[in-house]
Amino acid sequence: MTQKKRFALIGCGFIGQVHAANLATHPDVELAMLADLDTARSAALAGQMKCTAGEVSVAINSDNIDAVLIASATPSHAELLEAAARAGKAVYCEKPIDLSLARATRVAENVLPLNTKITVGFNRRFDRSHQQLKRQLEQGTVGRPELIQMVCRASELPPLSYLKSSGGQMRDQAIHFFDLLRWLTADEVISVGAMGAALAMPAIREFGDVDTSVLIMQMQQGAFAQLDNTRRTGYGYDERISVMGEKGLAESGSQSPPGMTLYQGKAIIKQGLYADWFSRVQGTYYQHLDAFVRSLNGEDVADLPGLLDGIQAQAIAEAATQSLATGMFCPVGQVL
């Protein structure tokens, strides 16, 4: 019988609450402790989850904890990840590891020799449609990829307070698709060109951010990839990826919640897209957690994003951010 893995969750905001619910319902997990700098918030969530609320240092160093899930504010990720790894804990860390690629790289250099299990929060790898696309590419159904097109269009703008501390669209939103691109193609981005503007929320120009952008990327094996990002649509959450090769095209398309279709006269009225990003991706958080837990129990999980995946996706985000600022194509190197 598999022994339950005892998790401590650090960070009890929105995503922390999502993780708490998944930890509490996973059959091979014991949600043993919650911690947050806002002790009232962690105490309230602990009451709901029927577990203990404690100090962050206790959550990391307790002998009664096997793994730490870091869902706190981004500026705390690097320090907490390194501390938990040094304490011998397995770590699930939300992305990015740090807003500074240099600091994230230093943490990785310090942590990798410890050989502890670490996964970075690229949960979109566990979207069922994206996984089907990955399997088709692995089987060579469309041949060697030549052109990849990706769309990431959120339905509603996040609050201005969030955007100010997010690190910008490339590090916060597009980074998921940088990881998906590497994972799907088993290839690396070598250069990126980006154009963007603050069309939906002009106020973010004050801190150099954009809410609408288009990127072109060249892959090491010769393929080209395109990505467009928006922070706001007028029609729902739109996420899709297509890969064209010499033998055809495979697509993981936009999705709609289950619903009816009405045929009336010359009109066909169908269910629209998911209203927001979370409705589309909610299940992927549990699937990512489940894959991590299975890896802790000795299973080889091929799709699990690791520490180096987090670093390399961030390297693409840094080059894209630089391209936005300079208007030039920027190289992406192998960081580690």
Q: What is the pLDDT of residues 129-153, one digit of tens each?
A: 999 999 999 999 999 999 999 999 9
Same domain, 162 and 81: no
The residue from 88, 116, 144 where one domain ends is 116
Confidence of residue 258 (pLDDT cuts 50, 70, 90): confident
Q: What is the CATH number of the domain that holds 174?
A: 3.30.360.10
Rounded to whole angstroms, the Cα distance separating 141 from 248 reads 8
Q: Which residues contact 215 (CB under 8 A, 6 or more apart)?
A: 174, 192, 193, 194, 195, 225, 226, 227, 228, 229, 320, 323
Same domain, 264 and 243: yes
The residue from 116, 143, 164 where one domain ends is 116
Q: What is the mean pLDDT of residues 274-298?
A: 96
Rounded to whole angstroms, the Cα distance separating 271 from 319 reads 38
The neighbour count for residue 68, using CB atoms within 10 Å, is: 26
Confidence of residue 319 (pLDDT cuts 50, 70, 90): very high
* pLDDT over 90 percentage in the chain: 93
Helix, strand, or coil (residue 160)? helix
Confidence of residue 123 (pLDDT cuts 50, 70, 90): very high
Residue found by looking up tokens 């930890």 in the block:
23
Domain range for 196: 128-279+311-331
Is there a domain that residue 318 lies in? yes
Rounded to whole angstroms, the Cα distance separating 256 from 271 reads 6
Same domain, 95 and 182: no
Is there a domain that residue 306 lies in? no
Is there a domain that residue 11 lies in? yes
The residue from 84, 116, 148 where one domain ends is 116
